[in-house]
């Protein structure tokens, strides 16, 4: 392993990144959690933003502002992805409303029976008293 010390510029840069992380992370996590509705997803967005900022650190004029913008854009991307997934699921559920040929109708009816059965199980489980 190479025992030569890192150049002082790199050490200062690492310290500044760590300082920015310590200073901004809590507020970024709060804001991202409010935007995406999940602390776990917010944590991922914030971590990804810090990776982007650390890679571009030397070219950034205002790393803190760039970091906040990156987190907001990451949250917006998560929300767009959720919206697209929701539209895709809604489109798939409309497939159940289509009149299919005979073999497909049997499978469709079986699927409806299974969904009713699952809903019944969920309702029964909801009535079970907590211990």
Calculate Rg over the CA atoms of the chain.
25
Instruction: Please indicate, yes or no, if residue 46 is contained in any of the structural domains.
Output: yes
Same domain, 92 and 105: no
DSSP letter for 92, please.
Answer: H
- On whether residue 93 sits in a domain, the answer given is yes
| CATH number of the domain within which 73 lies | 1.10.1740
pLDDT score of 58 more than 60: yes
Whether 92 and 110 map to the same domain: the answer is no
How far apart (Å, rounded) are the C-alpha atoms in residues 9 and 14?
9
Which burial class, exposed, middle or buried, applies to 26 when counting CB atoms under 10 A from its CB (0-12, 13-18, 19+)? exposed
Please check whether residues 105 and 70 belong to one and the same domain: no
Residue pair 37/43 in contact by the 8 Å Cβ criterion = no
* Spatial separation of the C-alpha atoms in residues 4 and 94, rounded to whole Å: 64
Query: How far is 32 from 69, CA to CA, in rounded Å?
Result: 11
Which of the four pLDDT bands, split at 50, 70 and 90, describes residue 103?
low
pLDDT number for residue 100: 55
Please give the tally of structural domains in the chain: 2
Question: Does any domain span residue 1?
Answer: no
Distance from C-alpha of 23 to C-alpha of 106, rounded to nearest angstrom: 60
- DSSP label of 55: H
76-101, pLDDT tens digit by residue? 999 999 888 888 877 776 655 655 55
Q: What is the mean pLDDT of residues 1-25?
A: 74
Domain range for 109 is 99-131
Asked if residue 2 is part of any domain, the answer here is: no
For 18-60, give the DSSP string: HHHHHHHHHHHHHHHHHHHS-HHHHHHHHHHHHHHHHHHGGG-
Residue-wise pLDDT for 30-52, tens only, equals 999 999 999 999 999 999 999 99
pLDDT for res 36: 93
Kindly state whether residues 55 and 14 are assigned to the same domain. Answer: yes
CA angle 45, 49, 50 (to 5 degrees): 120
- Do residues 37 and 65 share a domain? yes
């Amino acid at each position: 392993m190479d025992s030569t010390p890192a150049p002082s510029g790199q050490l200062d840069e690492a310290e500044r990144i760590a300082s920015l992380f310590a200073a901004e992370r809590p507020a970024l996590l709060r804001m991202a959690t409010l935007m995406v509705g999940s602390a776990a997803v917010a944590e991922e967005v914030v971590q990804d933003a810090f990776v982007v900022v650390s890679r571009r650190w030397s070219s950034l004029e205002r790393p803190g502002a760039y970091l906040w913008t990156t987190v907001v854009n990451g949250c917006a991307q998560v929300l767009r992805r959720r919206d697209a997934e929701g539209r895709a699921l809604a489109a798939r559920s409309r497939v159940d409303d289509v009149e299919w040929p005979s073999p497909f109708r049997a499978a469709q009816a079986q699927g409806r029976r299974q969904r009713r059965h699952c809903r019944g199980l969920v309702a029964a489980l909801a009535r079970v008293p907590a211990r």
